[in-house]
Chains A and B, each alone.
Chain A
Amino acid sequence: MRPFELSLTAVAAAIRARDLSPVELVDSVLDRVERVEPLLDAYVAIAAEQARRAAREAENELAAGRDRGPLHGIPMGLKDLIDVAGTATTASSRVRAEHRAEADSTVAARLRAAGAVLVGKTHTHEFAYGLTTPQTHNAWDRDRVAGGSSGGSAVAVAAGAATFALGTDSGGSIRVPAALNGVVGLKPTYGLVPRHGVTSLSWSLDHVGPITRTVEDAALVLSALAGHDPRDPASLPAPVQDYRPRPGALGGLRVGVPRNYYFEHVDPEVETAVRRAVDELENLGARLVEVEIPMARYVQATQWGLMAPEATAYHERTLRALPDRYEADVRVLLEAAELMPAGDYLRAQRARTLMRQEWARMLAEVDLIAAPTVPATAVPADQQTITWPDGAVEGVTDAYVRLSAPANITGVPSLSVPVGHDRAGMPIGMQLLGRPFGEATLLRVGHAYERSAPVRALAPVV
């Protein structure tokens, strides 16, 4: 296999075995970027020369015995909402045409300290306010949506144009594109990974997390990202730990299988693939327990009641100063939420309190929940709605958010793992939801599933 095709775990081992050097790896990924980027448009900006320089430094450090750990010398993409000192954070928006970040975000600083090499900044749906990332093409079929809002990050990882990437997730924006491109996405517990220096969509829903080739890779990246930073008021002093999953059976683990909500209005091929994966968890020793998702009727209302006014508040100044620089879909959402009464927002925050309590009760009965990540695979780029077998019509964006939003509202961690493809060859994702700070359990289960499933290839990029 060529270096760009390898997982983070594999290249980290190869570098330590001296079978591969950071320079060879970064050159391989940059060659791949050159080949696939004209087809995919995953990146806003590529920093090839800086990446080559950083790779040489990593190589020299490793040769001198200074090993910064498994991310040392590994090429990555960062969603272009994440500040990197001295470069623009465009948020894929003309609003940010003159932007320049003065300092690293916490996550960029931690990855830099871990020796990771920045290949470039990846496309987001403008300001993360959307689920398709229209600038970018799906890695498995260029005519289909990348998913979003971290579309560029997921497509880059799926295509071998980055060994790993970071995304952000306020209503599914890590997990949705990960599922639609056949890669792993982890939305950590709210407060585990600091958001200082990351452009906000919605403060009370925003999370930063890894998009990777494998579950083990996600664990390696999370280990470098997690940890308290007082500059993010939501950041929590959780104990720093090594999240690398240990192999082993899942005996005794109780996996909740929702009897409502998560399997309603779900494409039959998605349902079949996810249920097969859940059965595999049972084969691995887990016990399946049916669970009732509480307050399901209020998920969409709570998500919108939180996100719309928070996003509009963030953009208050620029919406007045530079309204014509926003794309039409984002502009009208920002404008319309100016008309929401404060009572709507408070009702959503009170509903969230109730939902968190109910989810805590449910998660006391099981160790995790397994469900589809998204109800449908990647749709053609010009498709606006999905018609379900009972005749119901749902907007593509509403459908993609629907199964992700509960983890944003409640703050529980959620890991999306590829579990197969539909007949058109498009990837399908399964979501594992856990207790707050239960990442280690999710990673252990995801890793066990992954080891039992056939090895996944990179996206063919056609």
Chain B
Amino acid sequence: MSTAELTPPEAARWADRAGLPLPADRHADVAAVANHIHSVVAVLRELDFGDTPPAAAYRAGEEEHGAAV
């Protein structure tokens, strides 16, 4: 296990901070899946994003414009 991985008690504490207290019998399963997701998404840290903005965006006034269509 790498040092970046969460132990079951750490996963429980993180979940608690997120407002999701977990029963003790879920700590190990949640830690395992959280560590898996982390290992998948961590690959994105290789990318140099420069000034690239996130794709999520909105157009001010869009809804009024749309409603009039």
Contacts and interface: CB of A to CB of B under 8 A. Distances in A.
A339 interface: yes
Interface residues of A, number: 36
Contact of B52 (A228, A305, A350): A350
Contact of B30 (A336, A340, A344): A336
Q: Which interface class (under 10, 10 to 19, 20 to 34, 35 or more) fits B?
A: 35 or more
A320 interface: yes
Given A320-B19, A332-B29, A353 B41 contact: no
Contact of B49 (A320, A337, A354): A354
Q: What are the 9 A-B residue pairs with the smallest beta carbon separation, nearest first?
A: A230-B66, A349-B54, A336-B33, A336-B34, A352-B55, A338-B18, A347-B44, A301-B43, A339-B34
A269 interface: no
A105 interface: no
Contacts, number: 104
A418 B52 CA distance: 38
B21 to A, nearest CB: 9
B55 A353 contact: yes
26 contacts: A204-B56, A230-B63, A230-B67, A233-B58, A233-B63, A237-B69, A297-B43, A301-B40, A301-B43, A305-B44, A320-B20, A333-B33, A335-B22, A336-B30, A337-B34, A339-B6, A339-B11, A339-B14, A340-B34, A340-B41, A344-B41, A344-B44, A348-B41, A349-B56, A351-B49, A353-B52
A305 B55 CA distance: 13
A226 to B, nearest CB: 14
A237, A297, A304, A348: residue with the most chain B Cβ atoms closer than 10 Å: A304
B54 A335 contact: no
A173 B37 CA distance: 20
Interface in B1-32: 6, 11, 14-15, 18-20, 22, 26, 29-30
